[in-house]
A and B are shown apart, each in its own frame.
Chain A
Amino acid sequence: MMDDLKELYQEVILDHSKHPRNFGKLDPCSNEAHGYNPLCGDTLNVFLNLSSDDVIEEILFDGKGCAISIASASLMSEIVKGKTKVQASTLFDKFHDLVTKEDSTLLEDDDMERLVVLAGVKQFPMRVKCATLSWHALQSALNGNKDTTTE
Chain B
Amino acid sequence: MNKISSFDVERIREDFPIFLEKIHGKRLTFLDSGASAQKPRVVLDAVQKAYTETYANVHRGVHYLSQQSTELYEGARKTICAHMNARSVDEIIFTKNATEAFNLVAQSYGQLALKPGDEILLSYLEHHSNIVPWQLIAERTGAVVKAVPIDSNGEFLMEEYLKLLSPKTKIVAVTHISNAIGTIVPVKEVIKAARDKGIPVLIDGSQAMPHMKVDVQDLDADFYVFTGHKVFAPTGVGVLYAKNDWLEKMPPYQGGGDMINRVTIEKTTYATGHSKFEAGTPPIVQAIGLGVAIDYVNSIGFDAIAAHEQALLSYATEELTKLNAVRIIGQAKNKAPIISFEMEGVHPHDIGTIVDQAGVAIRVGHHCAQPLMDFFDVPSTARASFAFYNNTADVDALIDSLKMVQEFFG
Contact = CB atoms under 8 A, between A and B. Distances in A.
B350 A67 contact: yes
A16 to B, nearest CB: 13
B370 A40 contact: no
Contact of A42 (B25, B380, B408): B380
A5 B350 contact: no
Interface string B150-168: 0000000000000000000
B352 to A, nearest CB: 8
A40 B370 CA distance: 10
B209 interface: no
Given A42-B349, A66-B349, A67-B350, 6 more contacts: A1-B24, A5-B353, A41-B379, A66-B350, A68-B349, A130-B349
Given A1-B357, A5-B357, A40 B348 contact: yes
A41 B358 contact: no
B83 interface: no
Contacts of A2: 357
A92 B370 CA distance: 30
B290 interface: no
B75 to A, nearest CB: 40
A5 B408 contact: yes
B350 A1 contact: no
Interface residues on B, range: 20 to 34
Contacts of A4: 357
A11 B366 CA distance: 28
A150 to B, nearest CB: 13
A80 interface: no
B347 A65 contact: yes
A43 interface: yes
Contacts of A8: 353
Nearest to B409: A14
The binding surface of chain B is classed by DSSP as mixed
Given A1-B24, A1-B25, A14-B409, A40 B349 contact: yes
A139 B339 CA distance: 38
Contacts of B380: 40-42
A40 B25 contact: no
A94 to B, nearest CB: 24
Interface residues on A, range: 20 to 34
Q: Which A-B residue pairs are the 9 nearest by beta carbons?
A: A66-B347, A41-B379, A66-B349, A41-B366, A1-B357, A67-B350, A66-B350, A40-B365, A41-B380
Contacts of A14: 408-409
A66 B365 CA distance: 11
Given A1-B358, A40-B380, A41-B379, A127 B349 contact: yes
Interface in B347-388: 347-350, 353-354, 357-358, 364-366, 370, 373, 379-380
Given A1-B25, A1-B358, A40-B365, A68 B379 contact: no
A5 B356 CA distance: 10
Contacts of B25: 1
B373 A41 contact: yes
Contacts of A126: 353
Nearest to A1: B357
B62 to A, nearest CB: 49
A41 B409 contact: no
A68 to B, nearest CB: 7
A142 to B, nearest CB: 25
A42 B358 CA distance: 25
Nearest to A42: B379
B257 to A, nearest CB: 35
Interface string A32-72: 00000001111100000000000000000000111110000
Contacts of A64: 379
